[in-house]
Amino acid sequence: MLSDACGSYRLPMRESLHPFCMMLMSVCVSCSGGEPAPCASGFERRADGNCYQLSVEDTEEPVGDDTGETSGSDSGGSDSGGSDTGDDGGSDEPDPELLALIDAWVAANEFIYEGMGYTAWDNRQAILSQNEDAVMEAILEMYRATGDVAWLQLFVLHGDAVLAWRDDKAGYTDYSGESNPIWSNAYELYVDDGKAYGFALESGQLGFPLADFAQIVLNDPDLQALDAGDGRTLYTVATGYVTACEETLLYHHARWHTDTVEVDGVTHEIGWFSAREDADFLIGIPAGGILPVNHQTSLGRMVAALAQATDNASHMDRLQRMTRWVDLEMTTDDGDAYVWYYWPTVPYAPDGTVDNGGNTNIEDFSHAVITTEFARASVDAGAGVWDETDLARFSRTFRKNLYTGTPGVFNMLVDGTVPENRESDRYQSGRFLRVAEYDVGHAAEHYEIARYALLDDLGVHEEGMIGGATGLLSLAELIRFWELQEQQ
């Protein structure tokens, strides 16, 4: 029961499941009493128990109104959202669609193991890294949407549990017999002979939300002294997560490479990761070989968040090198959308130096999500390699290439081919909303494509239909960007 999972956490009770102060009642049923958690900077809690955002004129509009100002802009760090909509005068009444989306998220979160996600599983069969990462990201998106610090307190429950499953803390060892600061797995689809390996992909999957939480807190002085739910401050938790993520990054640094290359007369300082040279048991990845693009960008998201959370110049240097490396993999099609391959082509390298195992496939829908999130994180961190023009191209990859034009139907590959319409891809559709606002004039269209796929087609708002963690994150992205439906 969740009452047992709460332990010493004293999360504030909620008086209702109304819009922006809702769900910890169902998460921590044994907790009682106490005042509601504070709202984020730029928000205030009214008598109805909800966090409301204050405009620069001190007029009071509910969070998620049509002013185009959503939470996160005053909270420091990455604001992975926003809107290009104008102010229509606002209303004190929450938007009915927003309420419906929030109701769906609360029910869906409760459906996934009573609100505790996948924290009861370790990563030996890749369950934690392939599921709980999206749950943690979803919680942070709910914080950005509402400004309610209770979401950060909820995140700490999940984040601490994930860290407890790391090899060096859980007592697990990898194929070398060592216990390292990674979440190794021995899943038979990834490795032969049951040899556990710490993939850069999975370190990024689980490390990125931890580092993202840290940069949210460490960039907002108003958050840092607040209770994390267990007597610690949010600052203490955030700095602990930074240390943990840097430990994980240091482990992978052994396979970090840098180079200076010239392409079309332009010099680029680049960097990338490779597999360990003695890992000859990996399925589909050559020992010592350069890693697929999404493995690089998964870990790159964590690096981007660390660059925002700290003043450590090495994180920004690594982020810039990784972004330049990925940028060299990008091509633009006739619709000015980005297209790239699953395996890096490394067009500047001598022939025969890149071993992709014969895989020359265009990148697919689900892995493209990771690189798109990396692009947004890199821009938010101020790496200075990509800008809003590039984010718009990633949005068009979804809107023009992955979407077929038929509601609820998607292509599998980022070049607009292979119309398999996999159910797993439809559950991912909301995640591309992180770049929708930069696709000027088409944000509402982008929102509707994802909304239809998730609600009208898959019915993720219906009981038992969430489809797991990815559906939960996509729903959170809809909530974060719900006002895009009002755009022209």
Average pLDDT for residues 379-384, to the nearest whole number? Answer: 98
Asked whether 144 and 80 are in contact (CB, 8 A), the reply is yes
Check residue 59 and give its pLDDT.
Answer: 36
Q: Poorest-confidence range of 13-27, 47-61, 290-304, 332-346?
A: 13-27
In the predicted structure, residue 488 carries a pLDDT above the cut 80: no
In the predicted structure, residue 6 carries a pLDDT above the cut 70: no
DSSP class of residue 134 equals: H
Average pLDDT for residues 380-385, to the nearest whole number? Answer: 98
Check residue 38 and give its pLDDT.
Answer: 64
Query: What is the percent of the chain where pLDDT is above 90?
Result: 67
DSSP class of residue 39 equals: B
Average pLDDT for residues 425-449, to the nearest whole number? Answer: 94
Residue 443: band (very low, low, confident or very high) from pLDDT cuts 50, 70, 90 = very high
First to last CA, the chain: 46
Query: Which pLDDT tens digit goes with each residue over 323-357?
Result: 999 999 999 999 999 999 999 988 887 665 666 66
Check residue 1 and give its pLDDT.
Answer: 22
Check residue 52 and give its pLDDT.
Answer: 53
Asked whether 330 and 338 are in contact (CB, 8 A), the reply is yes
Q: Poorest-confidence range of 229-233, 324-328, 428-432, 461-465?
A: 461-465
Question: Hey, is 202 helix, strand or coil?
Answer: helix
Residue 43: band (very low, low, confident or very high) from pLDDT cuts 50, 70, 90 = low
In the predicted structure, residue 409 carries a pLDDT above the cut 90: yes
Q: Which CATH class is domain 2-486?
A: mainly alpha
CA dihedral 304, 305, 310, 311 (to 10 degrees): 20
d(CA 209, CA 416): 30
Query: Which pLDDT tens digit goes with each residue over 188-217?
Result: 999 999 999 999 999 999 999 999 999 999
Asked whether 460 and 467 are in contact (CB, 8 A), the reply is yes
pTM of the model: 0.83
Check residue 468 and give its pLDDT.
Answer: 85
Q: Which of 12-16, 106-110, 449-453 has the highest mean pLDDT?
A: 449-453
> Residue 159 corresponds to which tokens in the numbers above?
């984040």
Residue 270: band (very low, low, confident or very high) from pLDDT cuts 50, 70, 90 = very high
Check residue 403 and give its pLDDT.
Answer: 97
d(CA 23, CA 296): 35
Average pLDDT for residues 38-60, to the nearest whole number? Answer: 54
Tokens 């004129």 sit on residue: 57
| Plot region of 421 (φ>0 → left; ψ -120 to 50 → alpha; else → beta) | left
d(CA 484, CA 4): 40
Burial class (CB in 10 A: 0-12, 13-18, 19+), 211: buried
> Residue 74 corresponds to which tokens in the numbers above?
């005053």
> E strand or H helix at 266, and its extent?
strand 266-273
Residue 466: band (very low, low, confident or very high) from pLDDT cuts 50, 70, 90 = confident
Q: Which of 358-362, 462-466, 476-480 has the highest mean pLDDT?
A: 476-480
Query: Which pLDDT tens digit goes with each residue over 73-112?
Result: 333 333 433 334 334 444 556 678 788 888 888 888 888 9
Go through the chain and tell me how many residues it has: 488
Query: Which pLDDT tens digit goes with each residue over 139-164?
Result: 999 999 888 999 999 999 999 999 99
Domain boundaries, the chain: 2-486
Asked whether 66 and 421 are in contact (CB, 8 A), the reply is no
Report the mean per-residue pLDDT for the chain: 83
Average pLDDT for residues 379-400, to the nearest whole number? Answer: 98
Burial class (CB in 10 A: 0-12, 13-18, 19+), 186: buried
> E strand or H helix at 155, and its extent?
helix 150-164
In the predicted structure, residue 29 carries a pLDDT above the cut 50: no
Query: Which pLDDT tens digit goes with each residue over 173-184?
Result: 999 999 999 999
Residue 50: band (very low, low, confident or very high) from pLDDT cuts 50, 70, 90 = low
- Half-sphere exposure at residue 63, Cβ-oriented, CA atoms within 13 angstroms: 33
Q: Is the dihedral of CA 282, 285, 287, 290 positive or negative?
A: negative
